[in-house]
Amino acid sequence: MPAHANLASAAFGGDNRRVRDDLTPLPLPEPALSEGGLVLRAWDEQDVRVVLAAGLDELISRYRYSLPRTADAARSWIAATRAQRLGGERLELAITERGTPVGSVALAEIAHGNAMVRYWLLPQARGCGLATGAVRLLAGWAFSTLGLGRLAALVELENRASAAVLERCGFVEEGRLRRHTTGRDGERVDTLLFGLLPEDLGA
């Protein structure tokens, strides 16, 4: 859409490979990132039930602690994705399969040419390659359009399914961070650090 193109122009001054170090609005991918029936799009007010289902899902709640658990909180979360994109802080996109939102993929902590990758899927969408496809699509766009030089992701040791997604996209396990974060049960847990450079993508 033209509005998206204007955002991209304002943020990058016409140079699609400029590295972002400011808080200018993050553009939405234009055209939308897609592969087969998989399409990444902005979250919408009509997606409240999907976000709420994710917040109430046991596996998602175990590894991603910030998702809402009430309808009102889900509405606020969706509004925050737009505000944070316009503030240059985070780009969170719905993973849709043939038009139905089933998960999310995000770039966060964007600074100095780096960003963190985060993602989740509802139970019915797992095991079909959707997370791998979504991460690969967003990573390629982040390198080619945002001009980022490195992506990273943190995964708790027990979350092998998430680690497998990263490995299939070319991420390299770079280290283990001891007692790095507080788990859902309040105990300190180790995490694995994965990194991706442009030449690693899909390797």
The domains of the chain, with CATH numbers, are: 2-9+23-200 (3.40.630.30)
By the 10 Å C-beta count (0-12 exposed, 13-18 middle, 19+ buried), 58 is classed as exposed
Q: How many CA atoms lie within 13 A of 113 on its CB side?
A: 10
Q: How many CB atoms are located within 10 Å of the residue 155 CB?
A: 20
Q: Order of strands across the sheet with 90-97?
A: 34-35, 38-42, 90-97, 100-111, 114-121, 150-156, 188-196, 172-182
- pLDDT score recorded for residue 107: 98
The residue behind tokens 């680690």 is 163
SS3 176: strand
Q: What is the pLDDT of residue 29?
A: 97
Q: What is the pLDDT of residue 165?
A: 97
Q: How far apart are CA 30 and CA 26, in angstroms?
A: 12
Structure confidence at residue 17 (pLDDT): 40
Angle 35-38-41 (CA atoms, 0-180°, nearest 5)?
110
User: Consecutive sets of 10 residues in the chain, 203 residues long: mean pLDDT of each?
Assistant: 28 38 84 96 97 95 85 97 96 97 97 96 95 98 97 94 96 94 79 97 74
Preceding omega of 31 cis (within 30 degrees of 0): yes
Find, among 94, 84, 89, 106, the residue nearest to 20 by Cα.
Answer: 89
Task: Answer for the pair 139, 201: CB distance below 8 angstroms, yes or no.
Answer: yes
Other C-beta atoms lying within 10 Å of the C-beta of residue 5: 12
Measured between alpha carbons, how far is 200 from 114 in angstroms, rounded to an integer?
15
The three-state secondary structure class of 98 is: coil
Question: How far, in whole angstroms, is CA 34 from its chain's centroid?
Answer: 15
Which residues share a beta bridge with 118?
106
Amino acid 161 reads: A
